[in-house]
Structure 1
Amino acid sequence: MLELKNITKSFGDKTIINKLNLTVKDGEILSIVGPSGAGKTTLLRCITGLEKVNAGEFFIDGQAFDPYTNRTNESVIGVVFQNFELFPNLTVMQNITLAPTMVLKQSQAEAQKQANELLTRLALADHADQYPYELSGGQKQRVAIARALAMKPNVLCYDEPTSALDPNLRQEVEKLIMGLKADGMTQIVVTHDLTFAENIADEMFHVEPNNSK
């Protein structure tokens, strides 16, 4: 279970998140929704350790945890970025195996075995040797998810997972996220797509613009 207690985040004299409390139960999906500029992505960046909070605490399974200073944060909270952030000069296989070998100190053979299992599961087995520019948007997203899963995170976060995709792929993203839920993965999804959020969520968290003043 992931818990946020009294989280506050400011930029200069503007408070974006003010004493926020939030709980994400194990195996459930939390959708964070709200209009642009309300602080959804800032909240996600704080959870994933990309931004340092000004105040408050994080807990994983009751243990205090600082996502900003934790050096192996990807093995606790994984993230799938809106634009995927794949390394363009690396193949799909290399994108997936890089962090497990460098951060988790897996052997190359172990990392490749795990990557092959993930690629098969995500219907990407035939794309292991391709580069990101050779993939469709949906394929890039699945590679980004495989890369995050390779770190064996407790929680997997997504930043606007449908925004860079053709609308007819939204249902495929829903199936993928629900499939991970069936496997017990705890997930946090930031999205402006309310229908998509409602379709996948166990809990909804609405971020309001006036919370950022």
Structure 2
Amino acid sequence: MLELKQVSKRYGRKTILNDFNLTVNQGEILAIVGPSGAGKTTLLRCISGLERIDSGEIQLDGKPFDPYINRDNDSVTGVVFQDFQLFPNLNVLENITLAPMLALKKDKDAARKQALDLLKRLGLDGKEQLYPYQLSGGQKQRVALARALAMQPRILCYDEPTSALDPDLRQEVEKMILGLKADGMTQLVVTHDLDFAKQIADNIKRVEAL
């Protein structure tokens, strides 16, 4: 279980998150819904350790947890970013295996086997030698998801997973998220799309811009 207690985050004089509280239970999907500027992406960056909170506390299974300094953070949270952030100079297989080899110290063969298994599971078998520019938007998203899953996170976070996707791809993302839930994955989905949130989430938390 992940808990945020009275978490605040500021950039200069602008407050983005103010005494923010949140609970994500093991195995559930929590959707955070709100307009642009409501701090949704900042929240994900704090949870994933890309930003440090200014005050408050983050707890994991009832114990204090600081994702900003935690050396094992890669095995706690994974993030599928809105712009995917794939390395353009690496092919699909290399994009997925790089972090497990560097951060988790997996040997090349084990990382490759895991990556190929993930690609097959996500309907991307045969795409491992392609480069990001050769992929569609939906394929890039699935590669980004495979890369996040390769780090074996306990909690998987998504930043606007349906942004700019057509209805068919939106449905595809919905199936992926629900499929991972069936496997027991805890997921946190940040979105402005309330209808999508209602389709996938066990609980919805609405936020507004400060």
Is TM (by shorter chain) over 0.5?
yes
| Greater Cα shift, 105-114 or 14-23 | 14-23
| Greater Cα shift, 16-25 or 81-90 | 16-25
Q: Which deviations, in whole Å up to 9, do the C-alpha atoms of 1:155-177 show, x marking residues without a partner?
A: 00000001032233111110000
| Whole-angstrom distance in 2 between the partners of 1:12 and 1:83 | 26
Provide structure 2 residue ranges, at least 5 long, that are not aligned to the other structure.
Answer: none
Aligned to 2:88: 88
Aligned to 1:191: 191
| Whole-angstrom distance in 1 between the partners of 2:59 and 2:113 | 32
In the superposition, the TM-score normalised over structure 1's length comes to 0.96
Give the match's secondary structure for 1:144: helix
RMSD: 1.0
| Whole-angstrom distance in 1 between the partners of 2:44 and 2:185 | 17
Provide structure 1 residue ranges, at least 5 long, that are not aligned to the other structure.
Answer: none
Using the TM superposition, give the Cα deviation of residue 201 of structure 1 relative to its aligned residue in structure 2, in angstroms. Answer: 0.5
| Whole-angstrom distance in 2 between the partners of 1:80 and 1:99 | 14
| Whole-angstrom distance in 2 between the partners of 1:50 and 1:167 | 31
Matches within 5 A, 1:195-206: 195-206=195-206
Partners of 1:74 and 1:148 within 8 A in 2? no
| Whole-angstrom distance in 2 between the partners of 1:112 and 1:61 | 32
Partners of 1:77 and 1:157 within 8 A in 2? yes
Give the match's secondary structure for 1:97: helix
1:24 and 2:24 matched:
yes
1:74 and 2:74 matched:
yes
Give the total of aligned pairs. 210
| Whole-angstrom distance in 2 between the partners of 1:168 and 1:30 | 23
Give the match's secondary structure for 1:125: coil
| Whole-angstrom distance in 1 between the partners of 2:75 and 2:51 | 17
Give the match's secondary structure for 2:58: strand
Match of 1:132, as an amino acid? P
Using the TM superposition, give the Cα deviation of residue 193 of structure 1 relative to its aligned residue in structure 2, in angstroms. Answer: 0.7
Q: Which deviations, in whole Å up to 9, do the C-alpha atoms of 1:126-162 show, x marking residues without a partner?
A: 1011111110000000000000000000100000001
Give the match's secondary structure for 2:95: helix
Give the match's secondary structure for 2:126: helix
| Whole-angstrom distance in 1 between the partners of 2:12 and 2:196 | 34
| Greater Cα shift, 55-64 or 172-181 | 55-64
Matches within 5 A, 1:1-213: 1-209=1-209, 212=210
| Whole-angstrom distance in 2 between the partners of 1:83 and 1:167 | 18
| Whole-angstrom distance in 1 between the partners of 2:76 and 2:154 | 5
| Whole-angstrom distance in 1 between the partners of 2:115 and 2:63 | 30
Q: Which deviations, in whole Å up to 9, do the C-alpha atoms of 1:73-103 show, x marking residues without a partner?
A: 2221000000100000101000000000000
Match of 1:201, as an amino acid? A
Identity fraction in percent: 68
| Whole-angstrom distance in 2 between the partners of 1:133 and 1:121 | 22
